[in-house]
Amino acid sequence: MVRRYAALSATALLVAVLVGPSHAQAGDTVLLPDLRQAPVGCAGGFSGNPSRCHDWDVCLVVDRWAPNGECVASAQGGGAVRLRFTTSADNIGDGPLLIYGSRASANHPRMTARQAFQSAVDRSIPASYGEAQHGIPATMYYEPAPSHAHWHLLDFEHFQLRTPEGDTVVTDRKNGFCLGDRYATNDLLLNRPGSGSGPAAELAETLRMNRCGHHAPEALTVVQGISVGYGDDYLHTVDFQWLDISDVPSGRYDVVNVVNGDRSLMEKSYTNNASSLAISVQWPGGATAPPAQVTVPPEVKLLRSCPGQEQCVATLRAYPELFGGG
């Protein structure tokens, strides 16, 4: 649980709960976060050339339905091929991303969720679900798997494999996120919380240790979020951090990662919510189609990383000179 922060004034809180802050109001009343989808396949906080990131791989597994599994060189009788990659989301806005979950009793399997905003006037931060100003459609549920055993926020990030024309070929099976301050970004940000006192610093202390109700399926409230200047990452070895490419024909594709795709979370900007990779997939022997039973994986090459863009292959085609082409 976060500490009890000073609340907004009763009048301001009532208005915020009823109508929520608009972008026009935000500069005067509340400090909005800004979620930036970090480069796909890069470790959290990476600030170098994203084309040199190595936090992705191609993994052949024997059990197609396992959330994760041991990667093997070959699979007699057939297996499944997974393109695994790390995903990260940074908060480079003016205020923290803060989400409270709540349910009336343990008889309800899911918690409803609200987004809370730091005041731009006195820098106070709502301390509970009841004080949070903005209801969101996403819910939280308890994931009992041994590698999780905590509460997940649904629909925070999604990833897909798409054709250069934008058609979706494969969608993710990701089942939620536990958000916290997992790493610091390299951005110069005015409102990054320091190590001193104050609402933002106290919240950051909580979020650095946040485990989202670990081993607490009975919890009635949960807090999640990301402080200004921090990010949350999921390693490529974590459950469901992959796209199944077992049935994908040889060709060029975009791996697209989008945070807050439905824009239900209020942000300072939505222009940086997507990042993508351009890849080529080639099945052994120059085959166009995947085999009926996959015994060895295809060769997957990274052609280009496109931070901040939903399309990468099309950009590569349109401006080859920008990417070292002729």
**What are 232-287's pLDDT values in tens digits?**
999 999 999 999 999 999 999 999 999 999 999 999 999 999 999 999 999 999 99
Asked whether the beta carbons of 268 and 289 are under 8 A apart, the reply is no
- 1, pLDDT greater than 60: no
Rg (CA), the chain: 21
Query: What is the spatial distance between Cα 265 and Cα 252, in angstroms, rounded to a whole number?
Result: 32
Distance of CA 244 to the CA centre of its chain: 19
Where do we find the tokens 């790493």? 183
Checking if the pLDDT of 17 tops 50, the result is no
Most confident residue range from 4-18, 130-144, 303-317: 130-144
| DSSP code, position 177 | B
Average pLDDT, the chain: 90
Tokens encoding 29: 């009343």
pLDDT, tens only, 53-108: 999 999 999 999 999 889 999 998 889 999 999 999 999 999 999 999 999 999 99
In the chain, the percentage of residues whose pLDDT exceeds 90 is 83
Contact (Cβ atoms closer than 8 angstroms) between residue 323 and residue 312: no
Of 261, 227, 190, 272, residue with least CA distance to 116: 227
Rounded CA-CA distance 307/310 in Å is: 8
Judge whether 64 and 80 are in contact, CB under 8 Å: yes
Provide, rounded to the nearest whole percent, the portion of the chain with pLDDT above 70: 89
In terms of pLDDT, which residue wins out, 183 or 175? 183
Give 301's strand partners.
Answer: 280
Statement: residue 3 has pLDDT above 70: no
**CA 194 to chain CA centroid, nearest Å:** 24
Provide the token pair at 211: 């485990």
With residue 201 as reference, give the H or E element that holds it.
helix 199-208
Residue 30 reports pLDDT greater than 90: yes
Would you say residue 147 has pLDDT above 60?
yes
The more confident residue out of 10 and 123 is: 123
